[in-house]
Amino acid sequence: MGTKKQYKFINSTTGYSIYYHTLNGDMKVEEAKIELEKVKEQVASKHGLLLTTIYWEEIKEGE
């Protein structure tokens, strides 16, 4: 089983994390970015937010 990378999606207006997502750690960087942008669109739609309001970042060990 490969490694996993966890990401959090943050509402930049409030600073709150509003969604968490896990990707295969073996995924190529470009593939991961494409997947994360798709998830970002879904999160924005679900929460009624503009895409520009949401950003994602990787959760590092110990956070």
pLDDT for res 52: 96
DSSP assignment of 2-63? --EEEEEEEETTT--EEEEEEEETTS-HHHHHHHHHHHHHHHHHHHT--GGGEEEEEPPTT-
pLDDT for res 1: 55
pLDDT for res 28: 95
Question: CA 54, CA 13: separation in Å to the nearest integer?
Answer: 8
DSSP label at residue 1: -
pLDDT tens per residue across span 1-52: 579 999 999 999 999 999 999 999 999 999 999 999 999 999 999 999 999 9
Q: Which tokens in the block code for residue 54?
A: 């949401």
The model's pTM: 0.89
Q: Report CA-CA distances (Å) from 62 to 10, 25, 59.
A: 18, 17, 8
